[in-house]
Amino acid sequence: ISICQDLPNIEVITFSVNGISDLEPLNQCQNLSELYLRKNNITSLNELFYLKNLPRLRVLWLSENPCCGSDPHRYRMTVLRNLPSLQKLDNQAVTEEELSQALVDGEEITAPPARRSVENGCPESTQSSAAESTTETASELLNFSLEETNKIREELGMKPVPRDKFSSFSPRETDCKRKTRNNVLNAILLLMKELDAEGLEIIQQAVGRRLQAFQKKELQEE
Cα separation, 160 vs 64, in Å, equals 27
CATH, residue 29: 3.80.10.10
**pTM of the full structure:** 0.55
Nearest Cα residue to 40 out of 19, 63, 68, 9? 19
CB half-sphere exposure, 205, CA atoms < 13 A:
6
> What is the model's pLDDT at position 96?
94
pLDDT in tens, 155-185: 656 667 666 555 434 444 445 556 666 666 7
Residue 5 has pLDDT above 50, yes or no: yes
Domain membership flag for residue 94 = yes
pLDDT in tens, 92-112: 999 999 999 999 999 999 888
Domain membership flag for residue 176 = no
Domain membership flag for residue 14 = yes
Domain membership flag for residue 12 = yes
Give the pLDDT band (50/70/90) at residue 138: very low
Give the pLDDT band (50/70/90) at residue 13: confident
The total number of structural domains in the chain stands at 1
Q: Judge residue 73's burial from the number of C-beta atoms within 10 Å of its C-beta, 0-12 exposed, 13-18 middle, 19 or more buried.
A: exposed
* Average pLDDT score over the chain: 76
Domain membership flag for residue 110 = no
Asked if 26 contacts 4 with a C-beta cutoff of 8 angstroms, the reply is: yes
Helix (H) or strand (E) holding 59: strand 59-61
Side chain identity at residue 164, one-letter code = D
pLDDT in tens, 18-69: 888 899 989 888 999 999 999 999 999 999 999 999 999 999 999 999 999 9
Containing domain of residue 38, as a range? 2-105
